[in-house]
């Protein structure tokens, strides 16, 4: 059994050279994201490509401030909070480019009840995941490194406000993009325990 090589080739790469990523190259990645499957022909995503130092700084600072508050509420020690927030800040500001994937209700079905509203939003989130996977596969195909960063899903409004995005754009995914640092050694991909992860009926 062999998984297609183009899927195997995508890895999370967390170290980049200083080389910038051209806007055109980022646009190709976003176009790849935008052919992902989406519920009932909607495209409930918006993407923000971020390359300026100011915008990266604003995003990292906005999300960092929120994380700091959350960690303090969790009773995490102050020096540990400083360490975590600084590492996250350095990760975001150190990447040559960041692509922020946002969700919007635009194009989604509206329901009067909470259960179906959650299901509809859940479908949008699933499709954002598919879009981000497309984006990362396209990055790998272009010889670019990428890594998904979870942060904005915990603080969509802080991420949105940091970049002065429209109210209805809610950031939920963040992908660092750059040229791979040749010295970076990633984890060995663990084998897939198919019998544990798949059932047959
Ligand atoms: C929703 C999501 C959130 C993630 N968040 C982070 C993150 O915050 N920081 C990070 O370094 N990697 C993050 N990752 C990357 C995973 O750690 C990585 O995909 C996993 O270890 C498998 O490695 P691979 O992508 O190289 O196959 C995230 C991945 C997903 C799908």
Q: How far is ligand 1, taken at its centre, from the CA of residue 149, in Å?
A: 7
Q: Give dist(CA 156, CA 105) in Å, integer.
A: 14
Q: Determine whether the shortest distance from the Cβ of 3 to ligand 1 is under 6 A.
A: no
Tens digits of residue pLDDT in 8-54: 999 999 999 999 999 999 999 999 999 999 999 999 999 999 999 99
Rounded to the nearest angstrom, the gap between the alpha carbon of residue 185 and the centroid of all alpha carbons in its chain is 21
Q: Which of 148, 151, 188 to mutate to test the pocket of ligand 1 (most atoms within 8 A of CB)?
A: 148
Hey, what are 181's tokens? 């640092």
Asked whether 98 and 185 are in contact (CB, 8 A), the reply is: no
Hey, what are 196's tokens? 């544990």
User: Who's near 7: CB < 8 A, 6+ residues apart?
Assistant: 137
By alpha-carbon position, which residue is closest to atom 2 of ligand 1?
Answer: 150
pLDDT tens, residue order, the chain (201 aa): 789 999 999 999 999 999 999 999 999 999 999 999 999 999 999 999 999 999 999 999 999 999 999 999 999 999 999 999 999 999 999 999 999 999 999 999 999 999 999 999 999 999 999 999 999 999 999 999 999 999 999 999 999 999 999 999 999 999 999 999 999 999 999 999 999 999 999
Atom number, ligand 1, closest to the C-alpha of residue 14:
11
């Amino acid at each position: 059994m062999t998984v297609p090589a183009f899927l195997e080739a995508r890895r999370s790469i967390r170290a980049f050279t200083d080389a910038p990523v051209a806007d055109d190259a980022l646009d190709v990645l976003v176009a790849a994201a935008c052919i992902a499957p989406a519920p009932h022909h909607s495209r409930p995503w918006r993407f923000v490509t971020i390359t300026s130092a100011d915008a990266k700084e604003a995003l990292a600072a906005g999300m960092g401030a929120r994380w700091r508050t959350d960690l303090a509420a969790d009773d995490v020690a102050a020096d540990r909070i400083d360490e975590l927030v600084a590492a996250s800040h350095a990760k975001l500001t150190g990447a040559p480019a960041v692509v922020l994937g946002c969700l919007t209700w635009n194009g989604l079905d509206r329901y009067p009840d909470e259960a179906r509203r959650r299901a509809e939003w859940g479908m949008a989130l699933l499709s954002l995941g598919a879009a981000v996977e497309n984006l990362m596969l396209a990055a790998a195909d272009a010889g670019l490194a990428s890594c998904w960063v979870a942060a904005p899903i915990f603080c969509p409004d802080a991420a949105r406000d940091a970049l002065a995005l429209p109210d209805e754009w809610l950031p939920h995914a963040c992908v660092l993009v750059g040229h791979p640092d040749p010295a970076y050694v990633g984890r060995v991909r663990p084998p897939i325990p198919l019998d544990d992860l798949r059932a047959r009926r």
